[in-house]
Amino acid sequence: MQIIYILAIVLGIWLLGLSIVLYKLFKTFNRLTDGVKEDLAKKGFTEVDKRLGFLEEDGKGHVQKIGLVKFNPFKELGGDHSFSLAILDGTDSGVVITGLHTRDRTRIYIKEIKKGKADLELSNEEKKALTQAQK
């Protein structure tokens, strides 16, 4: 019987402690939200929504898609040291950079991409890099 009384006292103290903690949490919450009106909250959400829309539109102009293809254009060289790199934004506009590596030099070519289309004809590797970036 004594164990039951001791257990009841311990649980009662535990319950009292939890009640005090919960009371303090509610008191803090009420202090934080005291004076906040619904119109002010709606205005804040409207402002956040407007800024989010701006960020989404602005983000379309930043680099979002990348495609890389490594290849060997010359049989006498070993390894895939040449590459085509497509760098596009949210509107599929950007550049394709191709580096052709030979024994004595590396040549780099850049072709502009506007809305997924190139002004100049693309090589097979450049097309692969562009397709990879558009996925």
Predicted confidence (pLDDT) per residue in 2-48, tens digit: 998 899 999 999 999 999 999 999 999 888 877 777 777 778 888 89
Contact 81, 72 (CB under 8 A): yes
CA distance 67 to 71: 13
Percentage, residues of the chain above pLDDT 90: 54
pLDDT score of 86: 96
Contact 92, 113 (CB under 8 A): yes
| Residue located via tokens 């960020």 | 55
At position 131, the amino acid (one-letter code) is T
pLDDT score of 83: 95
Q: 82-88 and 94-101: which strand pairing? A: antiparallel
CA distance 55 to 58: 5
Q: 117-118 and 106-114: which strand pairing? A: antiparallel
pTM beyond 0.85: no
